[in-house]
């Protein structure tokens, strides 16, 4: 039992004066390539991480859900599952409320529960702390109330909660990888069919995440604007989503689109192809190709989708100079801050992180945070 689980169980017992019956773990994720393609019915390539949300829980005999958040000073939220579930003034609580409301709206019978929630997924860094929480809550209620629901359905309901209750129009990737991750592998996910193809991350490569410590906010931000631009471009081409537009079709009609809409569409269409190519490059251990694909992805996010910031660009440029064609580096996540992800040969990890972080603090006066990660399993019961 790890320290996060021990801490969460202990707080549960202190607050609720009894032992938790179950402990659930749902991981955060990093996306190796395929950014903003998920809500365009496209392809993404995430890996679940060994950072997670943990929930200690037990059923109650009534309809009250009582939740304590360790990460917010043991703040408590409480609501009744038999009454209309409304928005809370506590932002973290809305991910819990929204997920439970969505379970009920989808016809699942749930009752009251006591939950203690904690996590070590860095918040505001683009590693999906919110999706991890939604999946953990969904799986906790599945476990407590013996619900007949698949992990994919839990992911879809987590997405629905974030879209309709929290108010962020995220795609399905974050919740799906948290629910369906495979240890040691990334998943090539088709966001239209939800088909998941596991792809082994070569053992001689480490997943290195560098947090710029430039916080980002998605709700009410540029994220929804980008989504609207993509929908406008899809309507122009007469297709359901930009997934259905080929590079040749895009190039043929690009000049007929407004400049900004055309560049947004070009990012999505080319990013889908890069994501498909990434699976082949990993399988073939073609590290020079991986380097080019990740570089192309970052350039597209910077110039066409316009979601990077100078601090992130500096990290990527510095890291690419260290790696050359031995690995790859790009921004990951929704943009406007957060993290970069790199695939780094194991023997280069120390040199890579030392050089990049040293130059970053010299340039920005900000200390970056480094996570050397491994691909993790998806949501699971760790006790109970």
Supply 331's token pair: 């921004």
Annotated active-site residue 259? The verdict is: no
How far from the centroid of its chain's Cα atoms is residue 267's Cα?
19
Report residue 17 as tokens: 């004066």
**Angstrom distance (rounded) from CA 94 to CA 80:** 14
Residue pair 212/338 in contact (Cβ under 8 Å)? The answer is: yes
Cα gap 129→97, rounded to integer Å:
16
Cα–Cα distance measured from residue 270 to residue 118, given in angstroms and rounded to the nearest whole number: 38
Q: Which residue out of 77, 174, 259, 304 is catalytically annotated? A: 174
| Sign of the CA dihedral running 237, 243, 249, 255 | positive
**Separation CA 339–CA 350 (nearest Å):** 18
Q: Please answer whether residues 20 and 381 qualify as being in contact, where contact means their C-beta atoms are separated by less than 8 angstroms.
A: no
d(CA 274, CA 286): 14
Report CA torsion sign: 11, 16, 19, 25: negative
In the numeric block, which tokens belong to residue 193?
């069919």
> d(Cα 153, Cα 180) in Å, to the nearest integer?
11
DSSP code for 256: G
Q: What is the rounded CA–CA span in Å between residue 275 and residue 35?
A: 9
CA pair distance 104, 284, nearest whole angstrom: 45
Structure tokens at 376: 């993790």
How far from the centroid of its chain's Cα atoms is residue 365's Cα? 28
The CA distances from residue 229 to 20, 59, 200, 288, 303, in Å, are 46, 44, 34, 33, 15
Q: Could you give the residue numbers annotated as active site?
A: 174
């Amino acid at each position: 039992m790890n320290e996060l689980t021990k801490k969460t169980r202990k707080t549960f017992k202190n607050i609720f004066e009894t032992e938790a019956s179950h402990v659930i773990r749902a991981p955060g994720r990093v996306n190796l390539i395929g950014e903003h393609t998920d809500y365009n019915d496209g392809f993404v390539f995430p890996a679940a991480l060994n950072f997670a949300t943990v929930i200690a829980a037990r059923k109650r005999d009534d309809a009250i859900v009582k939740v304590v958040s360790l990460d917010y000073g043991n703040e408590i939220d409480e609501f009744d599952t038999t009454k209309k579930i409304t928005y809370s003034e506590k932002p973290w609580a809305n991910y819990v409320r929204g997920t439970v409301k969505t379970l009920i709206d989808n016809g699942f019978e749930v009752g009251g529960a006591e939950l203690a929630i904690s996590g070590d997924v860095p918040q505001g860094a683009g590693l999906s702390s919110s999706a991890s929480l939604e999946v953990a809550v969904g799986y906790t209620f599945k476990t407590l109330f013996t619900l007949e629901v698949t992990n994919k359905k839990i992911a879809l309901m987590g997405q629905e909660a974030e879209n309709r209750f929290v108010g962020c129009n995220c795609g399905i990737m974050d919740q799906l990888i948290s629910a369906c991750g495979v240890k040691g592998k990334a998943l090539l996910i088709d966001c239209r069919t939800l088909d998941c193809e596991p792809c082994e991350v070569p053992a001689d490569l480490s997943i290195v995440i560098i947090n710029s410590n430039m916080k980002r906010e998605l709700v009410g931000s540029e994220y929804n604007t980008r989504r609207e631009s993509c929908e406008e471009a899809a309507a122009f081409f007469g297709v359901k989503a930009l997934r259905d537009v080929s590079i040749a079709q895009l190039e043929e009609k690009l000049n007929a689109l407004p400049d900004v809409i055309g560049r947004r569409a070009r990012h999505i269409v080319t990013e889908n192809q890069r994501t498909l190519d990434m699976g082949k490059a990993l399988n073939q251990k073609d590290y020079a190709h991986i380097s080019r694909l990740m570089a192309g992805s970052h350039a597209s996010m910077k110039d066409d989708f316009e979601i990077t910031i100078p601090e992130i660009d500096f990290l990527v440029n510095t890291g690419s100079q260290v790696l050359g064609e031995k690995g790859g580096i790009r921004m990951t996540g929704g943009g406007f801050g957060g993290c970069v992800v790199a695939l780094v040969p194991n023997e280069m990890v120390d040199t890579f992180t030392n050089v990049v972080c040293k130059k970053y603090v010299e340039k920005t006066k900000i200390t970056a945070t480094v996570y050397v990660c491994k691909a993790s399993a998806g949501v699971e019961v760790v006790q109970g």
